[in-house]
Amino acid sequence: MATTKLFVIDISSSVDYVPSKFIWQEFDRPNLHEVQSEKESIPLIDLQDHNHSDTVIKIGQACEFDGFFQVKNHGIPERLINNMIQISKEYFGLPESERLKSYSNDPSKNVRLSTSFNVKTEKVSNWRDFLRLHCYPLEDYVNEWPSNPPSLRKDVAEYCISMRGLTLRLLEAISESLGLNKDYINKALHKHAQHMAINYYPPCPQPELTYGLPVHTDPNLITILLQDDVPGLQVLRNGKWIAVNPIPGTFIVNIGDQIEVLSNGRYKSVKHRAVVNCNRERISVPTFYCPSPDSVIQPAEELIDDEHHAIYRGFTYGDYYQKFGIEGLQLRIAWKCSKPPLLNHFRGFVRFFRLFRKFPSKFTLMNWRNIRKKIFSCCPIPPVVIQLEGLDNKRGYFSIMFSPIYHGKF
């Protein structure tokens, strides 16, 4: 049955199978039975620990080795957290006609309700609806937020203000852990920006066939995720997917691409994804903290010397986000400027062809976009070359394969 419904929440209540537009190709599916579920999947850090330098060390290690950690005793009142989850449920419980008032597929909007990941560019859909809000400076945006449910603006505003406080504390600790002044990152963000999403993942009749959110890294600086009590987040570690099961009262923190660049690659923006399940709806609320679009992001000078060359070149966050953040969840972009990792590039290339020879039939099913993805996933550090134009035709593809570094203008 073809459905004319726009949002997954309205589709999910009327189907007992996944409509074809949500079905990922076999080689790209989540393989849920292979996911590891450990009790302590990522480090859990107590922010109330009285030994400040100990906490800074733990945070630094988590950023370096995991790219993800959880925090407890973070000082955010339970009331704000419960209100945030409650208002999210109420919002998505509104009638479709009410929700449609905020619908937009234009990613540049300050407020928008949308579905999947990027309905304009993607070929396969994801089992997610989301409300995305710009939230700093608050007074510039709050009056554009949905006015229904009536307490949404108040509850979400309180939550945002608190999350900003927590983020700034974490950024100080991260700066210190890199041996930088504690306000280093704060200053690098120029005027700062803060966005958030309310992700709503309805129950899915065939969770093996699709994603809530496909594999990606976060293009922003740092993300603080609140999730309800339903599992779904998974992070990639040593080539294996690990489930990050919810621990009540904690937040999940992950390093985004911009801290990877500021730290000159020492801290990792790690791939992650969200999967869905057949029994329960899931809500997650990421706070995306960002540089303002005009900030120039580059490796901290203090971290560069004769032995540690800058491996990323400077760019404005606005450029980065526009070209990569929105365009391609699948593309892990390294803006490297010296010592191109030729070896990695070559390895990715060789592995791709080995796979190609072993499973030719899989590749004949792939379109260019998927082939491109495959090359990236074959390569531990993706090839440096990103040709912005022509990626979806043969020329773009071969330019990725054969030229080790792209010297053009971004």
Angle at 147 (CA atoms; ends 74, 198), nearest 5 degrees: 40
Distance separating alpha carbons of residues 301 and 111, to the nearest angstrom: 36
CB neighbourhood size of 100 (10 A): 12
Q: Which is nearer to ligand OGA, 118 or 148 (CB)?
A: 118
Q: Which is nearer to ligand OGA, 24 or 117 (CB)?
A: 117
Q: For residue 260, state whether it binds Ni ion (rule: CB under 5 A).
A: no
Q: Which is nearer to ligand OGA, 245 or 344 (CB)?
A: 245
CB of 91 to ligand OGA, least distance (A): 16
CB of 282 to ligand OGA, least distance (A): 8
Q: Which is nearer to ligand OGA, 255 or 378 (CB)?
A: 255
Q: Which residue is nearest to Ni ion (CB)?
A: 218
CB of 325 to ligand OGA, least distance (A): 11
CB contact at 8 A, 127 and 204: yes
Q: Which helix (H) or strand (E) holds 352?
A: helix 342-358
Q: Which is nearer to ligand OGA, 67 or 286 (CB)?
A: 286
Among 237, 210, 213, 211, CA closest to 225 = 213
Give CA separation, 279 vs 205, 207, 290, in Å. Answer: 8, 10, 34
| Residue 233 binds which entry of ligand OGA, Ni ion, none, CB below 5-8 Å type-dependent | ligand OGA
CB of 79 to ligand OGA, least distance (A): 22
The interface with Ni ion within residues 68-97 (CB under 5 A) comprises: none
CB of 349 to ligand OGA, least distance (A): 29
CB contact at 8 A, 269 and 256: yes
**Coil, strand, or helix at residue 30?**
coil
| Residue 210 binds which entry of ligand OGA, Ni ion, none, CB below 5-8 Å type-dependent | none
Distance separating alpha carbons of residues 287 and 232, to the nearest angstrom: 17
Q: Which helix (H) or strand (E) holds 214?
A: strand 213-216
From candidates 218, 228, 257, 327, binder to Ni ion by CB under 5 A: 218
Among 182, 172, 176, CA closest to 222 = 172
| Residue 373 binds which entry of Ni ion, ligand OGA, none, CB below 5-8 Å type-dependent | none
Residue with tokens 């906490």: 55
| Residue 197 binds which entry of Ni ion, ligand OGA, none, CB below 5-8 Å type-dependent | ligand OGA
Q: Which residue is nearest to ligand OGA (CB)?
A: 284
Q: Which is nearer to Ni ion, 42 or 56 (CB)?
A: 42
CB of 273 to Ni ion, least distance (A): 8
Contact region for Ni ion (CB under 5 A) — 98-106, 214-222, 351-359, 385-393? 214-222
Please spell the DSSP secondary structure of 91-119, one letter per residue.
Answer: HHTS-HHHHGGGB---TT-SEEEEESS-T
Distance separating alpha carbons of residues 41 and 150, to the nearest angstrom: 38
One-letter amino acid at 389 equals: E
| Residue 227 binds which entry of ligand OGA, Ni ion, none, CB below 5-8 Å type-dependent | ligand OGA
Total chain residues near Ni ion (CB under 5 A): 1
Residues near ligand OGA (CB under 6 A): 197, 199, 213, 218, 225, 227, 232-233, 272, 274, 284, 286
Which parts of this chain interact with Ni ion (CB under 5 A)? 218
